[in-house]
Amino acid sequence: MLRENSRLYYVENSPVISDFEFDALMRELEDLEKEWPEFVVADSPTRKVGSDISKGFVQRPHRYPMLSLGNTYSISEIEDFAVRAEKALDGVAFTYCCELKFDGTAICLNYRGGRLYQALTRGDGVQGDDVTENVRRIANIPERLKGSFPDDFEIRGEILMPYDAFEALNAEREEQEEAPFANPRNAASGSLKLVDPAEVAHRGLWCTLYHVPADSVAFDSHWDALDAARSWGLPISDERRICRDIGEIKEYIDYWDVQRKFLPFATDGIVIKINELACQRALGYTAKSPRWAVAFKFKAEQACTPLREISYQVGRTGAVTPVANLDPVQLSGTVVRRATLNNADQMALLDIRVGDWVYVEKGGEIIPKITGVDKSRRLPDARRPVFPSVCPDCGTPLSREADEARWFCPNQDGCPMQIKGRMLHFVGRKAMNILGCGEAVVEQLFAKGFAKSAADLYDLDKYRLLCLDGWKEKSAQNFLDSLASSRSVPFERVLFALGIRYVGETTAKALARHFEDIDSLAGASVEQLMEVGDVGDVIAGSVYEYLHSPAHLQEISRLKEKGLQFRIAGSGQSLSDALAGRTVVISGNFSISREKMKDLIAAHGGKAASSVSPRTSFLLAGTKPGPEKLRKCEQLGIPVMSEEAFMKLLPGADGKEIVEELSLF
């Protein structure tokens, strides 16, 4: 159970139990192992740090193992830690450095010659994922250091997602019916592992550094090492304090238990470190954590309240989400009435009953979720919920794909909740941005039978709008004006507005840019769709299916007739046809951004694709190209070209003809 939860936490970024429950399970296992040492297995979770290693990244060894911290929720155990340290240091004077425990994902940076050389995740503690290119996109991590820094050193810290970036990201994901991240920590580690570094740049990640491995740089104290790192331009927290005794440590804890609620990022406790590096060396390490530091964890704010009912919401893609309706309860300053239960699996895991007293937490202190059930308060008449087998809105039997946690209503074209959800998505700010058209208006238009699809909106006139409750001349005119001006919304947003499953803003943009108009997009095979950066088989399958449904094609042709944009605007300047008919895969970093490089290829008549296939004309390799892509090129005999060579091929460079040059490979 601990192993599975460890995987859900570190690899999937979607834990199903709270940190407190996880820590309690770990503690139980530690106690059992103490009592029965003969049963301790070598790979026990008590002896290993959780692993975040994921596919798709190169793993590299850590110079010094990346360990975890012993943690506790009890002040008396912090007192025990202080007593143990005093005893072990046998009269040597020392101080404590108290710091915030930042709730993100651990990172290890290596600077060489004053430049960021490598960034590794914790991984399994021995080797981590190389996320250097992604880390370069994090705004407060300097590429170059200033002052007099050591030539080659490591510094460790945490990558965080501040609350505002987290909220914006989740709002976007919910709008696109993607599962939101449970908390900023999961969002940070998920974002750090994105395959496209350009996308990482948009996630608003942030870094704070808190540990220079003792052998890495010669300083007397941890405090001095961090001060020096700050002078080199590295991001170091201002919230650390030197404490002389347990009394001062407690003051620090009490202060931050309250003040942390006003910080712009998540913290889950404080870390107490012995400050003097000689003392740290004397104390050393256990297999899993240093003996010179300990974490005191704050309990996530929780409330316990009766579960009145579970309702089931159907989203625009047909996904059915169970929602807990609660007796209103105060939590971190707001009244919580509803909380998500995510999906049927989560309900089963919680073994929840209607009438139970349930624990509500704000995931990362933002989104309320049910984290547990107080079974001791369960009444005999508590009712086991039955996840519906048919759509709560239209009665169609629900279905679920093999690897999906969620159930779906397959009645895409007839389910009122889905139709209304799609219309709402269509008029949304990031889609067609129709003003004055929120949930209530969509509901009114649908209920009166005035609009049952996006195209129907463009048939509306003032007379019909004025029949609706609460509509006045002015509001009707504004609404119609907004519809009229939506005719100039660019193709990529129209494509996003259609609400094709898995096609978010970024994918819509990439598809629009690649295929340029709806007819080419509709004519593309699944394989051709997969040539677009970041489009895998799931997205490609979904787009293909959507554009092969007669009902969708009819809706698109109606929207076309209404004058909506279904062709990319003439922004993609054409410079030459030097690359006409060529499919170019790019990999690595270039002197210009990857996006600009793709534009350049397109401007010369070529197509940029993301994966190497027999149809690839050549691989354009920048610095640090993907080893997998290189290997595949070698296997398929596909030429690999440097940026320099590529630039020479384009007209206006040194006049060489592309065809001539390519045949050299």
* Closer of 120 and 293 to ligand IVH (Cβ): 293
Specify the 3-state DSSP secondary structure of 354: strand
Residue 155 within binding range of ligand IVH, rule CB under 6 A: no
Interface size with ligand IVH, residues (CB under 6 A): 15
Selected catalytic residue, list 55, 101, 297, 462: 101
Among 295, 419, 454, 500, binds ligand IVH (CB under 6 A): 295
Query: Measured from the CB atom, is 185 or 369 closer to ligand IVH?
Result: 185
- In 3D, which of 106, 91, 110, 195 has the Cα closest to residue 149? 110
User: With binding defined as CB under 6 A, does residue 175 bind ligand IVH?
Assistant: no
Torsion of CA 431, 433, 434, 435, to 10 degrees: 150
Calpha distance 203→201 (Å, rounded): 6
State the minimum distance, in angstroms, from the CB of residue 190 to ligand IVH.
16
Beta bridge partners of 45: none
Asked whether position 540 contacts ligand IVH by CB under 6 A, the answer is no
Q: How far is the CB of 50 from ligand IVH (least distance, A)?
A: 9
Task: Give me 288's structure tokens.
Answer: 């899993």
Q: Which of 94, 210, 223, 496 binds ligand IVH (CB under 6 A)?
A: 210
- Residues 62, 137, 211, 513: which binds ligand IVH (CB under 6 A)? 211
- CA angle, 291 then 297 then 302, to 5°: 160
Q: How near is the Cβ of 274 to ligand IVH at its closest, in Å?
A: 12
State yes or no: residue 130 binds ligand IVH (CB under 6 A): no
Residue nearest ligand IVH, Cβ-based: 106
Helices (H), 284-374: 344-350
Instruction: Examine residue 391 and tell whether it contacts ligand IVH (CB under 6 A).
Output: no
Residues 6+ apart with CB under 8 A from 86: none
Neighbours of 374 (CB within 10 A): 12
End-to-end C-alpha distance for the chain, whole angstroms: 54
How far apart are CB 5 and ligand IVH at their closest, in Å?
Answer: 15
| Residue 335 bridge partners (DSSP) | 330
Q: What is residue 464's three-state secondary structure?
A: helix
Residue 543: HSE in the Cβ half-sphere, 13 Å Cα cutoff: 31
* Rounded CA separation 575/602 (Å): 9
Is residue 106 a contact point for ligand IVH (CB under 6 A)? yes
If one counts every other C-beta atom within 10 angstroms of the C-beta of residue 593, the result is: 13
Residue 185 in the binding site for ligand IVH (CB under 6 A): no
Q: Is 101 a catalytic residue?
A: yes
**Residue of 52, 158, 356, 643 that binds ligand IVH (CB under 6 A):** 158
Nearer residue to ligand IVH within complex by CB, 99 or 276: 99
Among 102, 357, 426, 479, binds ligand IVH (CB under 6 A): 102
Question: In the complex with ligand IVH, which residue's Cβ is closer, 106 or 442?
Answer: 106
Q: What angle do CA 284, 290, 291 make, to 5 degrees?
A: 65
Please, which residues bridge with residue 298 across strands?
Answer: none
Nearest to 595 by CA among 235, 205, 198, 297: 198
- Which of 271, 431, 497, 612 lies at the binding interface for ligand IVH (CB under 6 A)? 271
Residue 102 or 546: which CB sits closer to ligand IVH? 102
Residues 34-73 that bind ligand IVH (CB under 6 A): 67-69, 71
Q: Rule CB under 6 A: choose which of 99, 356, 365, 643 binds ligand IVH.
A: 99
Sites of contact with ligand IVH (CB under 6 A): 67-69, 71, 99, 101-102, 106, 158, 210-211, 271, 290, 293, 295
Question: Which positions are catalytic?
Answer: 101
